[in-house]
Structure 1
Amino acid sequence: MSKKLLMGIIAVLLITNVATLIFKDSKDQVVLNEEDGEEKAVSNNEPVASIAGEKIIYTDWMKELREVHGEKQLKTMVDRHVVEKLAEEKDIEINEKVIERELAYLLAMQGAMTEAEYTAAEEKWRDEIIYRYQLEFLLTEDITVPEDEIQTYYEGYKNQYNMSAAMQLSHILVENKDTAEKVYEELEAGASFELLAQEYSLDKETNKDGGYLGFINTNSQFFPNGYEEVANGMEEHTYSEPFVADNGVAIIYLQQAVPAIEFDYEEIKPYVKSELALHKEKMTLNAEPLWEELEIDWIFSE
């Protein structure tokens, strides 16, 4: 990769670190694309902030970003290009079931998200998962792990690689059908599920959180009776019609439904092997050792 190409992309990379993309136009101005989608044009010498009359201009801001984050961010970008290129050359592909399992784990750690929020997060998570596993395989490809060690480890820990079916749900639980129908009519009119849960739901443990029940395995004792049957007939990011539940009448909102994910030994063997190899060699997930496999020329070369 040439210095010219790297210098051409470094500005974009730096600005993503502050959640803003910057594009320079022909009049020595830049266009700031903010997170809310709005655009602002600013010249190189124009203030981007003012504190008690003291101004911070755009060029000073950019200089600070380059000095503080430039090398680190550029290295991150080079790392990703190196891993992507080597993985392509060596035909390293990540099993879709592994990706889906990791996505489910990440989802379980989040609160309720809108469909748009989840779509954006999933795209980012997927890229990170693929990068991490490809990096693991590249770092450990020449490390030998005896078959019996892999087999023994798998037999002892195989359940950790599988995942039970789970659902991410919210609910509004009310006393009777008349109240439930009123809530349902408000939902149909465009009212917020979360706000209606706060107003109407009898479930004191969840109503303050907009009725959010969490990400629950369907075989868990904490999964409410009858909810799975209703949710199985729903699309993700939709709410149900009212139905009779254990403690009243419920309306549920299905954020995500994740089917059971199970692996046999041959499917998961490469992942167990790379995991054991990393531990055996006390390696960290650092792509820099892979740089020597490609011709790397960057601005911070000594």
Structure 2
Amino acid sequence: MSKKLLLGIVVVLLITNVASLLILNNKESVVLDDDDRTISSKEAVASIGNEEISYQQWIKALRSAYGKKQLKQMVDRTVVNELAEAEGIKINEKLIDRDVAFLITMQGVMTEDEAAKEEERLREEVIYRYKLQQLLAADASIPEEELKSFYDSYGKQYNFTASLQLSHILVDNMETAEKVYDELEQGASFDLLAEEYSQDDETKDTGGYLGYIYTSSQFLPSSYEELASEMDEHSYSKPFAADNGVAIIYLHRKLPSIEFTYDEIKPYMESELALQEMDQSLTADPLWEQLDIEWIYGE
């Protein structure tokens, strides 16, 4: 890594926080976050009664608390990306999609914009992790018979089962359901209508939210799956007869199944097993010595 590049990273770090605070210290107008909100570096960032916290105090605290950790993460990523490019390491897109899908199912309800930003962030994290894994295990080798045995036993765990992220409003009769649907059409909130009308006591207080459900799950009514398969994401259905009433569902997300052949998953399975046998944690520290690195925190 060149000193010029590292110096650039240091300068950025010293004037940013983890929310990507972008500013040069001699400018008064400060871009606060990714939404381009601005503040003045000459004014207090908070006041508590007669006490104020200045912009300079805030930035100093950020550098003290997060400076070294954030800079190390930035250097780690640059090291991994440079070495992965030099080695021609490419990560299978299906694997990236599988990991992102799995991580997405651990999230709550998001808007389309929020989901897009989160998926972009997760993709970067997943790609970095697999590049790092491949680099750390580059010189290791696992016997073919051990790999095949492992795949036979655990290969299905690498697959992802199609999932639906749903909310619903469940009522006693079609008349009530039509009333709810009319209110939705007039712009009423699905969450608030669920709280008001739904007879599902387990979900009504959370806006009818059911979470992510595998399409193969016994807990997903077949009528829900059939209807959701024809719906667009971020849309609600018309009322329909359900097993225990009349329902309206809201489809937040629809995630398809992802399956791997032995040859597709083999390189990643091999590096994973190799790191286990090496007792090597997933850290970029051993890779630093492969590049010429200098940073403000020493060797």
Q: Does TM, scored on the shorter chain, surpass 0.5?
A: yes
The one of 160, 164, 186 equivalent to 1:163 is 160
* CA displacement 1:118-169 (0-9 Å, x = unmatched): 1121111111111111100010011121111111111111121112221111
Which residue is equivalent to 2:244?
A: 247
For residues 242 and 11 of structure 1, the distance between their equivalents in structure 2, rounded to whole angstroms, comes to 57
The 10-residue stretch of structure 1 (195-204 or 184-193) with the greater mean CA deviation from structure 2: 184-193
Residue equivalent to 2:182: 185
Q: 1:214 is matched with which residue? A: 211
Q: Name the residue aligned to 2:110.
A: 113
The corresponding residue for 2:223 is: 226
- Counterparts in 2 of 1:53-202, with a 5 A limit? 53-202=50-199
Is the CA contact (8 Å cut-off) linking 1:168 and 1:254 kept in structure 2? yes
TM-score (norm 2): 0.92
SS of alignment partner, residue 250 of structure 2: strand
Paired amino acid for 1:39 = T
Question: CA, structure 1 residues 12+248, in 2 after alignment: closer, same or farther (shift >3 Å)?
Answer: farther
Q: How many Å apart are 1:17 and its aligned residue?
A: 4.0
Question: How far 1:12 moved relative to its partner?
Answer: 4.3
SS in structure 1 opposite 2:59? Answer: helix
Give 2:32's aligned residue: 33
Q: For residue 22 of structure 1, report the CA deviation from its aligned partner.
A: 3.0
- Residue in structure 2 matched with residue 49 of structure 1 by the alignment: 46
Counterpart of 1:172, as a letter, is: I
TM-score, normalised to structure 1's length?
0.91
Q: CA RMSD in A?
A: 2.1
1:210 Cα deviation (Å)? Answer: 0.7
Distance in 1 separating the partners of 2:88 and 2:152: 28
How far off is 1:250 after superposition?
1.1
TM superposition shift of 1:14: 5.9
Separation (CA, whole Å) in 1 of partners of 2:40 and 2:86:
42
TM-aligned CA deviation for residue 5 of structure 1: 4.0
CA distance in 2, matches of 1:20, 1:225: 45
Cα gap change, 1:162 to 1:28, in 2 (>3 Å): closer
Aligned residue type for 2:28: Q
For the 8 Å contact 2:102–2:160, the answer to whether it is kept is no
Q: Displacement, 1:16?
A: 5.7
Contact 1:14-1:73 within 8 A present in 2 as well = no
Aligned residue-pair number? 299
1:276 alignment counterpart: 273
Q: d(CA) in 2 for partners of 1:103 and 1:130?
A: 10
Residue 24 of structure 1 aligns with which residue?
Answer: 24
Structure 1: gaps spanning 5 or more residues: none
* One-letter amino acid of the structure 2 residue matched with residue 24 of structure 1: L
Quote the Cα distance in structure 2 between the aligned partners of 1:3 and 1:57. 32
